[in-house]
Amino acid sequence: MSDNKNEWIENTLNPATARGARKEQFTTESGIDQDWVYGPEDLKEIGFDYNEDVGYPGEYPYVRGVQPTMYRGRLWSMRQYAGYASAEESNRRYKFLLEQGQTGLSVAFDLPTQMGYDSDHPMSLGEVGKVGVPISSLRDMEILFEGIPLDKVSTSMTINSTASILMCLYAAVAKKQGVPQDQIDGTIQNDVLKEYIARGTYIYPPAPSMRLVTDVFEYCSANMPKFNTISISGYHMREAGATAIQELAFTFADAIEYVKAALDRGLEIDSFGPRLSFFFVAHNNLFEEVAKFRAARRMWAKIMKDRFGAKNPRSWTLRFHTQTAGVTLTAQQPDVNVIRCTVQALAGILGGTQSLHVNSKDEALALPTESAVELSLRTQQVLGNESGVADVIDPLGGSYYIEHLTKTLEDEAFKYIDQIDKMGGALAALDAGFQIREIHDAAYKHQGFVESGERVVVGVNQFINEQAPDSGNILRIDPAQTKAQVDRLQDVRKTRDQNRAQKALENLEKVAKSDENTIPAIMECVESYCTIGEICDTFRTNFGEMEHKAGI
């Protein structure tokens, strides 16, 4: 038996004992060099201290989980991101998913809603209901949640530039159901900085956009204490080509910027810190992803405790939603996507996510069909109830490899954050194009590896089946649903109390020009059946619009 790792490697690399072994250096998807095997000397080399760096579940620095019981207490929230065609169709899909055992709703909005255009605006042509549900007024929102008790369901809404408006619409529907604001449970993404970096669905320049974000922080701290005011997202940056290291670094750099903006507003760190939440992707490299989630918890605990001086332990705890990686789905051999998503979901669970969405196998072709969505939900249910992965808290904790990878990811991500700090923070780095360039470079390298065959993508560059995918059983949007949506919007404009709506918009304009919190004025507008387009146009007039810059 070998006495140490070096002796083992020397013996193993001997041609007599390592016939056919792969001897080339290999790396994770993020480019982290990997050894053949890991042992205690590797942890000692990086200054790893188990008691200080890991600890137990529910204890600082929360590497092993933010709850002491984790899934032994209850399973993660099973959410299937959904929304398409119309409020009626999306409502039916939500009810179907709840009947199949989904434990939380996750709402996708179409591009016009994300960009602050009504469904009948010329810019909305061809996009209504295509990638999410169209919402133009409170009437749409009422239909979307008809028959769904908002005092019993937690809802996550993926919306950013118009986040404060959608939050007010949701609160208005809850009010009509008799649910007081202080009992509303849910999450709004509200993470506009990553829109400038990765997605592009921004409306206004960064300064007024940040104002709207902090307005939500301030309002909810006083009025909606159970509502998560932001879901700071690394998901979309990773989808754009970022590595796991960049996903951690850029997400937390944005989070630091949001915290600083709230503190500058005069908010106390512990008044809003416990309601900050995060949104990460689960990618293909199982162990790197598990380590990433564990590293994220330790990083956030340090940032909130040491950098910002938060005193409430709930402000130190990183709570996050995970979605499997849409960018890894292939139109070729789409059934293989089921295996990809299962591995990715397993990474999220082993990493200790609080909430999970598993993509559907047909999403590289179109919006998911009902049968594909059901299969994705069943994937979560099998993992949670049949696999045994939820029986033990952080079952990979203590692995030489996992702990080494966790610490490496953390250290490399903090190097990026230090670099961004020296540039003046995430906003200054964004203005210099730093994050965009770094992500584009990483995406270019990845594509080069795929095209050269160094990184295998089953069905794309190896194990190819020339048979074209079956496009007969995909979801298609009926144009009649778009017309019905436009007709309903125009009816709202005709039948509402015009005097009340006009006064509400005039008040919103007055507030936009002041330093007042905009949420009460937005709430007045949505309850007066003002449209999203009318509200956003009021802001456009006063805030201006951000021009799109090509990131080259």
Section 294-307 average pLDDT:
97
What is the Cα–Cα distance from 115 to 123, expressed in whole angstroms?
Answer: 10
Section 163-190 average pLDDT:
95
Share of the chain above pLDDT 70, in %: 95
What does the pLDDT look like over 49-102, one tens digit per residue? 887 888 899 999 999 999 999 998 899 988 877 787 899 999 998 898 888 888
Confidence tier at 24 by pLDDT (50, 70, 90): low
Query: How is residue 259 written in tokens?
Result: 């915290």
468: CB partners within 8 A, 6+ apart: none
Q: Is the pLDDT of residue 250 over 90?
A: yes
Longest Cα–Cα distance in the chain:
89
Lowest mean pLDDT among 33-42, 345-354, 386-395, 523-532: 33-42
Q: Is the pLDDT of residue 193 over 80?
A: yes
pLDDT at position 25: 57
Q: Is the pLDDT of residue 22 over 60?
A: no
Q: Is the pLDDT of residue 423 over 90?
A: yes
Confidence tier at 429 by pLDDT (50, 70, 90): very high
The pTM of this model reads 0.92
What is the Cα–Cα distance from 347 to 323, expressed in whole angstroms?
Answer: 11
Section 234-245 average pLDDT:
95
pLDDT at position 237: 95
Section 10-31 average pLDDT:
65
Q: Is the pLDDT of residue 18 over 60?
A: no
What does the pLDDT look like over 441-473, one tens digit per residue? 999 999 999 999 888 999 899 899 877 766 667
pLDDT at position 103: 79
The per-residue pLDDT of the chain, averaged, comes to: 91
Instruction: Name residue, tokens 């600082």.
Output: 60
In terms of pLDDT, which residue wins out, 476 or 357? 357
What does the pLDDT look like over 75-84, one tens digit per residue? 998 887 778 7
Long-range CB contacts (within 8 A, 24+) of 215-218? 215/164, 215/517, 215/518, 215/519, 216/163, 216/164, 216/167, 216/188, 216/190, 216/519, 217/258, 217/262, 217/265, 217/267, 217/272, 217/275, 218/262, 218/265, 218/267, 218/272, 218/517, 218/519
Instruction: Name residue, tokens 């620095």.
Output: 61
Confidence tier at 552 by pLDDT (50, 70, 90): very low
Q: For the chain, which residues make up each domain, given as ranges?
A: 136-451
Are β-strands 33-34 and 26-27 bridged in parallel, bridged antiparallel, or unpaired?
Answer: antiparallel
DSSP string for residues in 328-391: G--SSSTTHHHHHHHHHHHHHHHTT-SEEE---TTTTTSSPPHHHHHHHHHHHHHHHHTSSTTS
CA distances from 488 to 87, 477, 482, 531 (A): 11, 17, 10, 12
Count of residues making up the chain: 552
Q: Is the pLDDT of residue 354 over 60?
A: yes
What does the pLDDT look like over 156-176, one tens digit per residue? 899 999 999 999 999 999 999
Section 540-552 average pLDDT:
77
Q: Which residues pair with 354 in a beta bridge?
A: none
Q: Which amino acid is at 403?
A: E
What is the Cα–Cα distance from 220 to 184, expressed in whole angstroms?
Answer: 10
Lowest mean pLDDT among 90-104, 143-157, 205-219, 404-418: 90-104
What is the Cα–Cα distance from 283 to 238, expressed in whole angstroms?
Answer: 9
Q: Is the pLDDT of residue 1 over 70?
A: no
Instruction: Name residue, tokens 């999450």.
Output: 187
What is the Cα–Cα distance from 513 to 541, expressed in whole angstroms?
Answer: 10
Q: Is the pLDDT of residue 2 over 80?
A: no
Please state which architecture CATH assigns to domain 136-451: Alpha-Beta Barrel (3.20)
What does the pLDDT look like over 498-515, one tens digit per residue? 999 999 999 999 999 999
Q: Which residues pair with 91 in a beta bridge?
A: none
Section 256-284 average pLDDT:
94
Phi and psi (nearest 5°) for 531?
A: -90, 160
Confidence tier at 367 by pLDDT (50, 70, 90): confident
pLDDT at position 220: 94
pLDDT at position 467: 76
